[in-house]
Amino acid sequence: MLKAKPNLESRIRTLKRDWAIIYDMSSGKNNSGFGWDEHRQLVVAEDAMWNSYINSHKEAGQLKYCSFPYYDNLLPPTQKRSSH
């Protein structure tokens, strides 16, 4: 068995979890205050919006200042953002 397999599986789970959180923030029905900064590759919003979201989604707190460069790569092809 490949020794790195548990680490890879853990990383994949983390990527999926983080992507789902970011997708919910940027595309969710009640989350219109969030946006995506293409240059910095992170979710942007006013502090009040972040605080409100984090109060009900504790796991999202780690993403407030962290970039997620894989977001566009993990979008389904029908939802890819245009490069223009």
Residue 39 CA to residue 54 CA, distance in Å, equals 23
Residue 81, both tokens: 């953002």
pLDDT number for residue 45: 93
Buried b vs exposed e over 70-81: b needs ≥16 C-beta within 10 Å? ebeeeeeeeeee
User: What is the phi/psi pair of residue 4, to 5°?
Assistant: -80, -10
Query: Which parts of the chain sit beneath pLDDT 50?
Result: 84
Residue 2 confidence (pLDDT): 61
Q: Token digits for 7?
A: 């680490």
pLDDT of 75? 75
